[in-house]
Structures are given as structure tokens and as C-alpha cells.
Amino acid sequence: MKKHFNSFALLASVAATMATVGAGTALFAAPQSIAQSTSQSVAYGFEEVGDTEIFFREAGDPSNPALVLLHGFPHSSHQYRELIPLLSEDYYLIAPDYPGFGASDFPSRDEYAYTFDNIAETVDTFLEQKGVDEYSLVIQDYGAPVGLRIATQHPERVQSIITQNGNLYEAGLNEAAWSPIMQLWEEGRGQNAELEANIAKNVFSLEGLRWQYTHGTRNPDAILPDNWILDHERLSRPGQHEVQLDLFYDYRSNVAMYPEWQAYLRNEQPPVLVVWGKNDAFFPAAGAEAFKRDVEDLDFNLLDTGHFALEEDAQLIARKIRAFLTARGID
């Protein structure tokens, strides 16, 4: 029988033990069926997609308009823990963890190809199996290339797009921050061991992860440490660095698809809500501004925060989402 990770129990355990224990290796059993959490009717469970168990959070009445929340690197659906209950009274929200992330299965590289094409296919199949066939996409970081692959394949299913630092434009790539990964694109995966070791050291360390959550925030000391503690535990599993470097290398495929996704915006004209942390070191505000070129129905908002804007502005973003959807009759 496969073992699963209950992310709620894991979060509490990791936070309590990480200071005295090294990289966590304990496995936490989770029920196959959906289990109710204590957080305002948020539920969580697993869905088998092919050979992979996908963990998900969901809340709200499935007969209400659906919001599909797609997470970024290095986190999971945990990043939507505050947003989901804020909107669950009027919307149906569902947030899966990608393979290798959060509490979803972590198949080996021999068993699962860690590319954005494959992750998008897994998420698309997950939504079909769950019967979610019309929705607004909430995209952040990795959620953008995953979500736009799905949107371009099924444009009739997408009612709107809500982007929180989900980039689709070269202008939104900060070359200074991306330069080591861009060098990886040029040299090839597995060709420069020193470069890959330095990326892993700088990005996957506990301090490097903490920086990603706190950089550009108004009050760094108020950001929940469980975020980077949980991420570090997940990234410390054997084989994780190789998987994440595979995805860093494959990110070049996303940049190559930017023109296709921009054409989708121009041709399909989905309403777009931009709620963008303007102090993001990876995806600066120029990426948000670029949506103005292609989208006619655009609700544009720059927020004085960093990459994970929900950590400081969940209440504000929830209000923006509710107003945006209501104004467009998605209610």
C-alpha cells in the first residue's frame, strides 16, 4: 500500500521538530477518503491520477463557480490556506499539489517525467476526474505555465484568470535573479556540476527558502516560518534536488511558449485580475504591466509586498477576487 503525507499533521510536526532534527524523513499516513479539517469547512484528500496520488484541498459548494488554485515553487496548496476559507461561502475552490510537491506522491524520475508539460497533463486529468469542467484559474509562479497549458488546450473551460505573480512575459523575468538558471539552460542539464551545486545550495537551503518568502515584504518577521520549514523538509527528501533542477532546466520551455500564451489572451480575451507583489525579485512588476498589452478586460493591482503576496495580503486579495468575479457575473 502506498504511503501518503497528511500535510496538516506534517506542518505541525515539522515546525516542532525541525530545530532539533535534520532533514525530516518520517512518513505520515493519511486517509484515502476526503477528511474535514478544522478550518472553516476546508476538506482535503487524495485522487489517483495514473500511478500518482494527488493531494488536494477543497472547500465550498461544487455547484458554485469554481476556482482552481495552482501553486508555485517551492511550495504547495498550503500557500492558499488563508484564501480558501475566505472565498468558500460563495465559490467552490480546489487546490492540488503537483507530483513531487506538498503531500502528493513523489515518484522517482524513472517513474515520472518532471516537466511542465507532464505536470499540466496530470493536473488537467485530475480536474477532469474531479468533474471540474468550468473554472477560473488562480495562478502563481509555476501555476502560470501549468495553468496556461491547460487554458490553451481547453479555452472553453476558462471563465477568467487571476494572476498573483504568475508570469507570461519575458519582461517579467528579472535577469539578475534568473541568471544562474539561464546559464543552466545554455549549458544543459548535468553538464556543469558546480553550477547545479551552487543553485541547490542557494535556493534549496533553509535560509534561501526563507528569503524567498520574506524578500520584499512589509514586515518580514510576521511571515509564517512554517512555509520555509515545510518546504525545506520536502526538498530534503532524497532525489528532490535532482527533480527541482530538472524543472528549473525545463522552465526554458515556458519562456518559449510565452508568445503562444500571449496570443491566447489576445484571441480568447478571458477577463484577467492582476494582484501582483511589486517587490518580487523573480517576477518584477514589468511582468504585471505587460498584461495591459493583450487583455481588454483587465483589473490591475500592484501590491506593496513580495513573491508570495498572500502571506501579507490574503484578505485584500480575497476582496479583489470577489469584486472581480461579481462584476463579471461569475457568481
Closest among 91, 109, 87, 101 to 55, alpha carbons compared: 101
4 annotated active-site: no
| Alpha-carbon dihedral angle through residues 207, 78, 168, 195, given to the nearest 10 degrees | 30
Pairing of strands 43-49, 52-59: antiparallel
- From 4, 215, 241, 307, the catalytic residue: 307
What CA–CA distances, in Å, run from 11 to 8, 26, 53, 220, 300? 5, 12, 19, 20, 34
Q: For residue 189, what are the β-bridge partners? A: none
Name the residue among 95, 231, 64 with its Cα closest to residue 164: 95
Q: Residue 180 contacts by C-beta under 8 Å, 6 or more apart in sequence?
A: 195, 198, 199, 202
Query: Which residues sit opposite 93 in a β-bridge?
Result: 59, 67
d(CA 70, CA 168): 15
Distance, CA of 126 to CA of 114 (rounded, Å): 16
C-alpha pair distances (Å), 192 with each of 187, 238, 253? 7, 20, 20
Eight-state DSSP code of residue 311? H
User: CA–CA separation, 136 vs 92, rounded Å?
Assistant: 10
Please tell me the distance from the alpha carbon of residue 165 to that of residue 143, in angstroms, as a whole number.
9
CB 257 within 8 A of CB 138: no
User: Which of the residues are catalytic?
Assistant: 307
